[in-house]
């Protein structure tokens, strides 16, 4: 299992408490984006398409800690952009750990060798290194040669210094299941503590819009990958995923889940992002405002065109975790039988009543640019 026992117990107890107290909407993972600036320009990324004044913005240490305290999620995933470009990141990490939170610090690892001695191994801290497959797959995904080798070297360095290390592997259309399986063998041999995998999400501003997976292709791809996993298991080789087994079962088409956008709330330089990490369709000034004023029923598969093909962990991992706590027998059955890779798939959510996509990116950019330059906020467009 890629998730430490302490984390599994603490998160499980947290979910159970929320359930027993009747709290319907609560966070599991705070997605903290202290900056959008990055030292790569991946073709499938929609997080760096901002004017330079916005890319130059940073959340302060105080901003980051306020978000952690306000939200209260037991796990904090620090993403970006590239978080290691933030000069105060070591202080942010240290002070979040002092709050007894679990941290996954996401990085493309290009700066890790230079920065690693600014951090100390901690049982609640894990480097989460972006690695989208083998050398050819990953270098293509990040649009730069040589990044795979540097990431692997950084993984080995971090492990040698006593850190926990996981990888974040995003898969796109055209991924070869056999190559993905061989890649998972490789990271297993390197000693990676866990793998977080997910289909790529179709960011509306990403340069490459042709290689995002639809839901049917996602299920077929992961079923094929998990077939190789069963073969490996028969030979005594087990891949370690730091995700809920029921989420992996969902990726294989065996669960019908609605997304839980409030499970992974996002705080970035704009504020608290509505409705989720993947869609920026409005921002709240506080976490309380985000939870109380977001019209959650407007979003999700079957509700909104932009969400139609989404099966990403940031939307559905929380759903699967809650399901595993409420229905532990499903988890026990899965542990015994494994992920089903043959036969009919679970019914999918119909899309016939979804509302059409709205495109509001430029409006938010205009507002932020006006704020940066001390100008009046642009007027809302007429209905």
pLDDT tens for 241-296 read 999 999 999 999 999 999 999 999 999 999 999 999 888 889 999 999 999 999 99
246: helix, coil or strand?
Answer: helix
231: helix, coil or strand?
Answer: helix
CA 1 to chain centre: 19
Dist CA 302 CA 338 (whole Å) = 29
Torsion of CA 255, 320, 338, 231, to 10 degrees: 100
Averages of pLDDT over runs of 10 residues in the chain (383 residues) are: 84 91 94 92 71 91 98 96 96 98 97 97 97 92 92 97 96 91 95 92 54 84 96 92 95 96 95 92 95 96 92 93 91 94 96 89 78 76 48
Dist CA 366 CA 278 (whole Å) = 20
Dist CA 167 CA 270 (whole Å) = 27
Dist CA 59 CA 69 (whole Å) = 15
Dist CA 158 CA 164 (whole Å) = 8
pLDDT for 115 = 97
Between CA 340 and CA 347, with CA 341 as vertex, the angle to 5 degrees is: 75
Parallel/antiparallel/unpaired status of strands 266-268 and 271-275: antiparallel
At which residue do the structure tokens 């990431």 appear?
Answer: 151
Residue 21 structure tokens? 């107290």
Let me know: does 32 contact 71? Beta carbons within 8 Å: no
10 Å Cβ neighbour count for 358?
Answer: 13
Parallel/antiparallel/unpaired status of strands 271-275 and 280-284: antiparallel
């Amino acid at each position: 299992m890629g998730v430490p026992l302490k984390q599994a117990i603490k998160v499980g107890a947290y979910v159970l408490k929320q359930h027993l107290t009747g709290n319907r909407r609560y966070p599991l993972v705070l997605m903290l984006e202290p900056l959008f600036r990055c030292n790569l320009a991946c073709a499938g990324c929609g997080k760096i398409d901002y004017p330079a004044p916005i890319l130059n913005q940073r959340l302060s240490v105080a901003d980051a800690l306020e978000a952690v305290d306000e939200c209260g999620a037991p796990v904090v995933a620090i993403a970006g952009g590239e978080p290691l470009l933030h000069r105060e990141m070591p202080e942010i990490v240290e002070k979040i750990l002092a709050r007894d939170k679990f941290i996954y610090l996401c990085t493309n690892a290009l700066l890790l060798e230079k920065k690693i001695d600014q951090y100390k191994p901690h049982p609640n801290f894990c480097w989460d290194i972006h690695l989208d497959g083998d050398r050819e797959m990953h270098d293509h995904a990040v649009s730069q040669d040589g990044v795979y080798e540097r990431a692997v070297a950084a993984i080995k360095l971090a492990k040698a210094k006593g850190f926990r290390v996981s990888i974040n592997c995003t898969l796109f259309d055209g991924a070869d299941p056999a190559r993905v399986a061989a890649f998972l063998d490789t990271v297993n041999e390197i000693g990676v503590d866990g793998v977080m995998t997910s289909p790529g999400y179709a960011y509306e501003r990403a340069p490459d819009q042709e290689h995002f997976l639809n839901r049917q292709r996602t299920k077929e791809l992961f079923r094929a990958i998990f077939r190789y996993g069963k073969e490996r298991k028969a030979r005594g080789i087990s891949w370690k995923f730091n995700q809920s087994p029921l989420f992996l079962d969902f990726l294989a088409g065996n669960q019908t889940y609605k997304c839980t956008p409030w499970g992974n709330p996002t705080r970035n330089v704009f504020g608290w992002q509505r409705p989720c990490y993947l869609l920026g369709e409005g921002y709240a000034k506080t976490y309380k405002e985000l939870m109380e004023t977001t019209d959650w029923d407007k979003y999700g598969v079957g509700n909104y065109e932009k969400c139609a093909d989404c099966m990403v962990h940031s939307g559905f991992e929380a759903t699967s975790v809650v399901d595993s706590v409420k229905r532990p027998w499903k988890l026990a059955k899965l542990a015994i039988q494994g992920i089903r890779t043959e036969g009919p798939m679970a019914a999918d959510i119909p899309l016939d009543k979804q509302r059409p996509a709205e495109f509001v990116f430029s409006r938010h950019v205009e507002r932020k640019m006006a704020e940066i330059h001390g100008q009046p906020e642009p007027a809302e467009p007429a209905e």
